[in-house]
Structure 1
Amino acid sequence: MTSIFQSFTDEAPEIAALREQIRRFVAAEAPREKRIAWDKAQAWPRDAYAKLNALGLTGLTIAEEHGGAGQDIVAAVAVIEELTQAGPFFAGPFIHTAFYGGMNLSENGSPEQKAEYLPRLARGELFFAYGLSEPNVGGDLASVETRAELDGDTVVVNGAKRWCTGADWANVIYCLVRSGPPEDRYRNLSFVLIPTDTPGISMQDIEHSNLRYTKSQDVYFDDVRVPAANIVGGPAMWNRGWELLAGRALDVEKIEISACAYGIARAALEEAWQYAKERVQFGKPIAQHQAVRHKLVTAKTKLQACRHMLYHAAWLANEKRPCSVETSMAKLFIADTGVEIALACQQVMGAYALSDAYDMDRHVRDLLGMPIVGGSSDMQKNNLASLLRL
């Protein structure tokens, strides 16, 4: 068994090689002018992503028996870290396939669902979207109002989901519904796989300022009918959705968004670091002024702490060890610290950090949202207080 020290400090040769492969791809396919255009269009590049997809990266969350590369959470996190050096434009769609789809169905799918979906996810042919939040429901997922009822061998869904990011191009919505009496708060939930081309679905775009690889959507379900076989885990998991929310897939979800925050913070620091060495004021590079030096080395120290928390949590998840505390701590610390790093880097670069001459403006916008998305910092604190029996 690989030691914890080796797993996130002395990186395995195959992961180092994977990083180099992605770095070459990012350098070739994501120059600054394209990143600026993608951000303004709020869209990800389909043609370039297809070249990335040919590398087989989406199979890193899927077992070999289902056509994947063998589940390797540490490697998948490294992929996100490197892809975010070009912003969210490749990392976002990768997550929709490898994590929203591949990870969730690998952990929670029925044998039939795994056989149907996982090989296609491993090939990068499918994209999933999350249907969790609602107009009246954010972190309190046990209070979802979208209603699902069984009609023979069919599930009928009515209601609405909010912040259903990428639903307009995703193939399937991994949707949380209330499937039992409202008073049975934790025993009335189910997950259902809802193909986005199912009759009765309509959508409305939501504009947002961060992670602009895509728009988000309000999704409305009006007597949407899907087979009962689409209940995640199979019909036996009807009304048992809370068990899936409390499972390993949710721990990995926190790692995935933490990897995004870490990767973008790293990109921000690298840009500010290079700028400080090149920008001359008062007769010398600003990297030689104490105030700037202190900002940058403090940010570098914080980033290193984020790295250790991220890969420690990823290693625990990869080894299938208990990691709910560590993944919540990683999400809390990296999201909040990423904001601190971004704002310090923005100050180093001054007015240029507010223009499209550099990526810093986008880095700051992306990182400012990280303490909110994927489970807010306050929700992580609540979770940790409960997990630690405070």
Structure 2
Amino acid sequence: MAPPLPPVTFTDEPDHVAQLRDTLRRFVADHAPREARIQWDRDHRWPRDVYAELNKLGLTALTVPEEFGGAGQDLVAAIAVIEELAQAGPCLAGPYIHTAFYGGMNLSENGSPEQKAEFLPRLARGELFFAYGLSEPDVGGDLASVTTRARLDGDEVVIDGAKRWCTGADWSDYIYTLVRSGPAEDRYRNLSFVLIPTNAPGVRMQDIHHANLRYTASQDVYFDGVRVPVSHIVGGPQMWNQGWKLLAGRALDVEKLEITAVAFGIARAALDEAWDYAQQRVQFSKPISQHQAIRHKLVVARTKLQAARHMLYHAAWLANEGRPCSTETSMAKLFVADVGVEIALACQQVIGSYALSDAFDMERHVRDLLGMPIVGGSSDMQKNNLASLWKL
């Protein structure tokens, strides 16, 4: 029988990251058994009691500076957290991202001093959840065309409009919302970000159920004369009409990496499952791992997975060092998302018909990975980004 799948690691991974991985693997094994993960996926929900136990490990502090109660930004470790949690699907990785990245990373990079003092200590403790309010019914990748309107009224901001694909908005505390705050013709100079409490008067939601990443539903969110204080303009009132600068900043580069880490983690889980199955399943008097067609599928998938890991963690290291990384994060998102689909479909073929049922996790892995070239900035958008960066 062939040896088990070798670990997909770097030889120079920091010791504290390797130790963190061991802790998370034990946690998932103890608190997220397969039967429970199947039910969470069916119910489109994540386990709040299990997440509360996970939160005791202090992982959400990895994106928050020490002066605000965090551990100091350690993006390589935070990305490793997502990868390890995603081994069990998005049930724990999803809510972690809503706190550590949508909240902690964005406000650490873009928040005003007052916002950092108010929100970051609670985010470091895992007490708040944020959702994104970026896309709209008629706006996807062209975010400069958003039509959700915000205007100043004394010491308040008034918001009217609608957002789509606000994943987890129904259980989040705030929506990190992109709005048009100036004349429509002032493209790129008429955008702002506003923190909108989900319980504010005038906020209404409608669920959107989807086939992948079913730790939650997404929401259409409607704003009807919603009022928030001007202190909720991300970066403070001086950042009114400066939202495009935030979209082009480091936080968005890192946002591409957190969804890439989910894709990588799920692809790794898919290969693990297919690798084990190929050694156990016997056809024509020998394990199918000894048939050339199966061996080749697994070897190619393993090679793609290793390349994906190098791209992901090289980009994460650049971001952690504060170096320019827009090119590397776009390449990582493009490559890992697309290769993840290739790995999933190859591994599905190794398992065969069983991979279409819930007898194996492969059914969920394929569903989750098929969406990765779409979510978090589509593969085509990453190609456009790279072409612009390379001045093609």
> SS of the residue aligned with 2:88?
strand
Residues 269 and 300, structure 1, Cα contact 8 Å, conserved in 2: yes
1:4 aligned partner: none
> SS of the residue aligned with 2:80?
helix
> SS of the residue aligned with 1:170?
coil
1:30 aligned partner: 32
For 1:357 and 1:176, the matched residues in 2 are separated by 42
Residues 205 and 216, structure 1, Cα contact 8 Å, conserved in 2: yes
For 2:126 and 2:230, the matched residues in 1 are separated by 25
For 2:124 and 2:286, the matched residues in 1 are separated by 52
- State the Cα deviation string for residues 60-82 of structure 1 (Å, max 9, x = none): 00011000111000000100010
Question: Aligned letter for 1:246?
Answer: A
- State the Cα deviation string for residues 335-357 of structure 1 (Å, max 9, x = none): 00000000000000001100101
1:8: how far off?
Answer: 4.8
1:111 aligned partner: 113
- State the Cα deviation string for residues 24-67 of structure 1 (Å, max 9, x = none): 00001111100110010010000000000000000000011000
2:56 aligned partner: 54
1:289 equivalent in alignment to 2:294: no
- State the Cα deviation string for residues 298-346 of structure 1 (Å, max 9, x = none): 0000000000000000000000000000000000000000000000000
Question: Aligned letter for 1:372?
Answer: I
2:228 aligned partner: 226
For 1:351 and 1:109, the matched residues in 2 are separated by 50
For 1:157 and 1:367, the matched residues in 2 are separated by 35
- State the Cα deviation string for residues 264-319 of structure 1 (Å, max 9, x = none): 00000000000001111111111011100000000000000000000000000000
For 1:113 and 1:12, the matched residues in 2 are separated by 32
Residues 353-372 of structure 1 correspond to what in structure 2 (within 5 A)?
A: 353-372=355-374
For 1:9 and 1:157, the matched residues in 2 are separated by 50
Question: Aligned letter for 1:159?
Answer: G
2:100 aligned partner: 98
Question: Aligned letter for 1:269?
Answer: L
> SS of the residue aligned with 2:234?
coil
Question: Aligned letter for 1:296?
Answer: L
Residues 329-368 of structure 1 correspond to what in structure 2 (within 5 A)?
A: 329-368=331-370
2:16 aligned partner: 14
1:169 equivalent in alignment to 2:171: yes
1:9: how far off?
Answer: 3.9
For 2:138 and 2:13, the matched residues in 1 are separated by 44
> SS of the residue aligned with 1:175?
strand
Question: Aligned letter for 2:15?
Answer: P
1:313 aligned partner: 315
**Residue-pair matches, total:** 384
For 2:206 and 2:58, the matched residues in 1 are separated by 32
For 1:267 and 1:66, the matched residues in 2 are separated by 35
In the TM superposition, structure 1's runs of 4+ consecutive aligned residues that sit over 3 Å from their partners are none
**TM-score normalised by structure 1 residue count:** 0.98
For 1:173 and 1:268, the matched residues in 2 are separated by 32
> SS of the residue aligned with 1:221?
strand
For 2:29 and 2:287, the matched residues in 1 are separated by 26
Question: Aligned letter for 2:172?
Answer: A
Residues 8 and 315, structure 1, Cα contact 8 Å, conserved in 2: no
1:3 aligned partner: none
Residues 38 and 213, structure 1, Cα contact 8 Å, conserved in 2: yes
Gaps of 5+ in 2: 1-8
For 1:112 and 1:38, the matched residues in 2 are separated by 37
For 2:40 and 2:285, the matched residues in 1 are separated by 37
Residues 8 and 312, structure 1, Cα contact 8 Å, conserved in 2: no
RMSD of aligned residue pairs (Cα, Å):
0.7
For 1:259 and 1:151, the matched residues in 2 are separated by 41
Residues 44 and 89, structure 1, Cα contact 8 Å, conserved in 2: yes
1:198 equivalent in alignment to 2:200: yes
